[in-house]
Amino acid sequence: MMLWTFLLGAMPLDPLGDPLPLYLDESRVRSVLATIPSKLTTCPTDGDLTVKTRLSLSGAGKMTVLDLTGAPPEAADCIKTSVATLSAPKHDGADVEVKTSIYRRSGVWMMSPSPEIVRRAQVPLLLFVPGDDAAGLAIWEHLMGAEENER
Amino acid sequence: MRWFMLLLMTMGCGGRAIVATDGPAPARYRVNISGDFGPITDPVTGDHFQDEKDTTLTLTLAVVPVRRFTDGSMGQRVKIEHGALSISDQPYEDLELTGRTLELRTFPDGEILTLGWVDRVAGPKRFMEVFEVVFPAISPSPPSLRKGETASRRIIWPFLGERRLRWDSAVDAKWTNHGPEERGKTMAWRLSYNGPWRIHGGRRSGPEAFKATASGDAKGQVWFDKGSGDLTRHEFSWSREVQLAGPAARLTQAQSFTGQVERLP
């Protein structure tokens, strides 16, 4: 008991209880995305752009453009290169995939306010189902009364 | 005595001690669980979705305190250093547990308050929502008992996932202190417990809401080092009948877990 008392005294106090940054949650993903526009100021473009993109944030802290549409080739290459130079937080999870848009309006780059984080399709169900995705999906559809592939 | 109390108070009021530049050393545990799972069936229609599965889960865990909270509880980072699963004696190669972490928040007596990020070790290919017995196994919370005494104390823990997914487990355990025993070169207190295990919860809103309930029994023995009070071993045998109820159907599966936790030197 005495050991616990001293150990507690030595621990950093966290009055809020926010989750430890072990994995990326939505707010951390947003803060990473918010750093993108400042890196794009040197990318060559003439007019307004709406760029749809799919990004990956790896556990090692790297950000990569997986897909990109809506920009001329030179600007697209510049965006990919610029994004790759940014550092993202390291995390313990699998690569986080994000679908979002990058806008250029009147010479100003900005991010979409509503990025979509790609999540795992199947939720924990308290049943042990080690089969492939189809096995889990069949159980889910039976439980929910959904048609095949309807979610 | 007064001087000794003054010394203790002075130490308590001092700045935070830096224990070591790398923080406290982790406690490491080896966990072995035999999980036997009955078929998944619809009790109303008789539909059969999966046959019985006999499994063995082996984990090596590193548990290290990382922060304390104003209510006196402590956050401990639990890293799964190694995880291996076999099903019907065949290795399951797709397991995604090795290297993953979560935060176990407990009171000093071991009572579990939350399991932060538990959803990241749950679901397909991870399965810790099913093998959740691991968490009370490494953090049992017996009452303070003298040798030969018996008392009741619940073992509780919640499972919280994304999008309003939650269920709560509770074992109404009756604990007995059997006194100190020799364990290798040291002495350890041995306590045993048994009691009914109940679960209720589910996803509480939205079109994909469902209810999860389970009932069963839990029993086990724990050994705590007589000097340090640390958990050194836990042998357990827990079982439950799980029932899920969705908008269209119900499904059931019997689950039993027999295993042990051993603290590594």
Task: Find the radius of gyration of the CA atoms of chain B.
Answer: 20
Q: Which of B28-42, B61-75, B204-218 has the highest mean pLDDT?
A: B28-42
Q: Where is pLDDT greater, at A20 or B149?
A: B149
> Lowest-pLDDT range, A83-97, B161-175, B192-206, B216-230?
A83-97
The H or E element that residue A68 is part of is strand A63-69
- Chain B residue numbers touching A90 (CB-CB < 8 A): none
Tokens 């579990």 -> residue: B112
The yes-or-no verdict on residue B12 having pLDDT over 70 is no
Provide the residue type at B49 as one letter: F
Distance from C-alpha of A93 to C-alpha of A82, rounded to nearest angstrom: 24
Dump strand ranges (E) for chain B: 27-37, 40-41, 48-50, 53-68, 74-87, 90-91, 101-106, 112-116, 150-161, 165-183, 186-203, 210-225, 231-245, 250-264
The residue in chain B having the minimum alpha-carbon distance to the alpha carbon of residue A126 is B130
pLDDT tens for each residue of B31-67: 999 999 999 999 999 999 999 999 999 999 999 999 9
pLDDT of residue B233: 97
**Quick one: average pLDDT of A70-85?**
92
> CB distance B253–A128 less than 8 Å?
yes
Does A10 sit within 8 Å of B117, measured CB to CB? no
- Distance to chain A for B184, nearest Cα, Å: 23
The answer to whether the Cβ–Cβ distance between A129 and B50 falls below 8 Å is yes
pLDDT, tens digit, 9 for 90 and up, residues A79-136: 999 999 998 888 887 788 899 999 999 889 999 998 988 776 677 889 999 988 888 8
Is residue B153 scored above 50 in pLDDT?
Answer: yes
Cβ contacts (< 8 Å) between B24 and chain A: which residues?
Answer: 7, 10
pLDDT at residue number B14: 37
> pTM of the prediction?
0.80
Q: d(Cα B20, Cα B65) in Å, to the nearest integer?
A: 13
Q: Cα–Cα–Cα angle for B144, B150, B154, nearest 5°?
A: 65
Confidence of residue A7 (pLDDT cuts 50, 70, 90): low
pLDDT band at B178 (very low <50, low <70, confident <90, very high): very high
Give how far A49 is from chain B: nearest CA, Å. 34
Per CB-CB distance under 8 Å, the chain A contacts of B123 are: 120, 122-124
Pick the more confident residue, A146 or B137: B137
For tokens 């355990």, name the residue: B173
